[in-house]
Amino acid sequence: GQNIDQPTEMTATEGAIVQINCTYQTSGFNGLFWYQQHAGEAPTFLSYNVLDGLEEKGRFSSFLSRSKGYSYLLLKELQMKDSASYLCAVMDSNYQLIWGAGTKLIIKP
């Protein structure tokens, strides 16, 4: 079956760095997405990785290792507004998105 695993919840301090991991087992791979979702709102696109390596975009970076079925989202200089759920999603061979359950990130002052 298809499976996406990510931690349920993480806590970090304002100004610090946090890494949210995602492991996946899917039928085929056409890229991995990270989305941010604030409570009661729709997800917003953060990043897309299809090749191995690190993609940096401002305070956020995303890494992919296809051989390990592994990705992480790195958030630097954390701000209170970064408190949200972070969803990992993989596009399978049928170009369908398979979603992880999301990681709730709590930022403390």
Partner 1 sequence: GAVVSQHPSRVICKSGTSVKIECRSLDFQATTMFWYRQFPKQSLMLMATSNEGSKATYEQGVEKDKFLINHASLTLSTLTVTSAHPEDSSFYICSARVGQTSYGYTFGSGTRLTVV
Residues that bind partner 1 (CB under 8 A): 30-31, 33, 35, 40-45, 48, 50, 87, 91, 95-97, 99-102, 104
Q: How many residues does the structure list for the chain? A: 109
Residue (14 or 41) nearer to partner 1, CB = 41
Could you say which DSSP state residue 107 is in? E
Q: How far is the CB of 15 from partner 1 (least distance, A)?
A: 27
Residue (9 or 77) nearer to partner 1, CB = 9
Beta strands per DSSP E along 1-109: 3-5, 9-13, 18-25, 32-37, 44-49, 53-57, 60-65, 70-75, 84-91, 97-99, 103-108
Q: How far is the CB of 6 from partner 1 (least distance, A)?
A: 9
